[in-house]
Structure 1
Amino acid sequence: MAIDDLLDEHEQSERVRSWLRKNGASILGGVIVAIGAIAGWQWWQGQHGNKLAQANVEYEKALQGIEGNKLDEAAKAVKTLEAGPSNIYADLAALQLAKAQVDAGKADEALATLRALKLDGEFQGVVDQRIARLLIATGKPDEAITLLGKHNDSASLEIHGDALAAQGKRDEARAQYEKALKTLDVAAPQRRLLETKLIDAGGTVAATAETM
């Protein structure tokens, strides 16, 4: 090998050492960050998986309590689910618990269960309707009216009418039923019941149909 070649190799190796001295720390840092990110992702997946597994266990406890008519135990499991990270298990368990509480004649407990639910969009609307029906059934139609004030779908308008009817306000109830009929599909299965409510409130189905 020629001396010039040796000098070139020596010069090249010195350049490499010099570049590593300048950039080695940043390269090492990048590797450490990358390893840390991978480890962090794996840890998050493990933690998230563990939490979901625990949520599934509590959900099963809630179902067993409901099926065994041990509603207090079911309620404890639901509270544990609600205290954890947001997941569908908590919402499903709460809805089923509320139904079981209503069936058991525990309307106040069912109201508390439903009011603890905070869902998105139309799902919250359905929960509000259930709450409103329970409020009417427990002699609190004024609270039901306040709750449904922002809803204008046919089901909410009908329940609003029920609340007004419970207050003895037949004219106002009739107006709500008429609005509900206007927003309800002609083939909807609940239309016949709504028409009956309208007639009981002093309205006429034919007159309502003509205004549609």
Structure 2
Amino acid sequence: MAIELLDEHEQGERVREWLRRNGFGLVAGVVLGLGLIGGWQWWQRHQHGARVQAGERYQATLASIQAGDLDAARTQARDLQKGGVYGTLIAFDLAKAEFEAGDHEAAIASLRQVADADPALEPIRRQRLARLLIDAGQAQEAASLLSDADDAVGLETLGDARFALDQRDQARQAYENALRRMDVAAPQRRLVELKLTQAGGKPSQPETI
């Protein structure tokens, strides 16, 4: 069987013809690829710069809190509280300082004003806010805030809210669920067992081998 081989001239002509048909697509693909790489690098630099600026604002706000100038701290915290790690952390710091200063309503407001809390810190923010709400006599709002809690601390706080509302059955259930998620040797376990007993429940004895 004969095999036809293209000579160098025919091969070159076919390559040039293919490039004429597809050259624009190749160039566009290269340009698009370079644009995406450049855009990604710009975005990375922008994100890094934003994190650096947020860190600097956080440190400045924290310095005002530590100096006892809570009015200045509240003003500085406004941009930070739009979201992210630093916004959530400064809300914790500011609320703690306000609570210790006796301004419980301001502490509640600081934790409420976090527009988009960092996902890893959101459960902590809700737990702290719920405890302040219970202390302020707003247990119903605290219970609603923690209605989907599934960790030991959140469930314990939910139990506290239910107990404050005199909802003993729901309080017992929350405390029991908290104990199920808590290590037998956890320091907090004994306190939750006492709360369960106060709500009319009976702590189960840990299994022994």
Same fold (TM over 0.5): yes
2:121 maps to 1:115: no
Q: Which position in structure 1 is the counterpart of 2:126?
A: 128
Match of 2:101 among 101, 104, 120: 104
2:163 maps to 1:165: yes
Cα separation, partners in 2 of 1:22 and 1:66, compared to 1, 3 Å: same
CA distance in 2, matches of 1:22, 1:179: 69
Q: Which position in structure 2 is the counterpart of 1:4?
A: none
Cα separation, partners in 2 of 1:55 and 1:120, compared to 1, 3 Å: closer
Higher helix share: 1
CA-to-aligned-CA distance 1:157-179 (integer Å, 9 cap, x gap): 22222122223344543343233
Q: How does 1:28-67 map to 2 (within 5 A)?
A: 40=39, 43-67=42-66
Percent of matched pairs sharing the same residue? 43
Cα separation, partners in 2 of 1:31 and 1:178, compared to 1, 3 Å: closer
Match of 1:208 among 190, 193, 203: 203
Cα separation, partners in 2 of 1:19 and 1:57, compared to 1, 3 Å: same
Aligned-pair CA distance for 1:67: 0.7
TM-score norm. by structure 2 comes to 0.72
Q: How does 1:190-205 map to 2 (within 5 A)?
A: 190-203=188-201
Aligned-pair CA distance for 1:23: 8.0
Aligned-pair CA distance for 1:47: 3.4
Q: 3-state SS of the aligned residue for 1:209?
A: coil
Aligned-pair CA distance for 1:137: 0.3
1:167 partner letter:
L
Contact 2:184 2:206 in 1 (8 A): no
Q: Which position in structure 2 is the counterpart of 1:5?
A: none
State the superposition RMSD in angstroms: 3.5
CA-to-aligned-CA distance 1:40-75 (integer Å, 9 cap, x gap): 455445433432332222112111111111122222
Aligned-pair CA distance for 1:22: 8.1
Contact 2:158 2:174 in 1 (8 A): yes
Aligned-pair CA distance for 1:32: 5.9
Aligned-pair CA distance for 1:130: 1.1
CA-to-aligned-CA distance 1:15-46 (integer Å, 9 cap, x gap): x9999988887777677666655654554454
Q: Which has the larger radius of gyration?
A: 1
CA distance in 2, matches of 1:170, 1:17: 84
Q: How does 1:137-152 map to 2 (within 5 A)?
A: 137-152=135-150
Q: Which position in structure 2 is the counterpart of 1:75?
A: 74
Q: Which position in structure 1 is the counterpart of 2:152?
A: 154
CA distance in 2, matches of 1:58, 1:149: 34
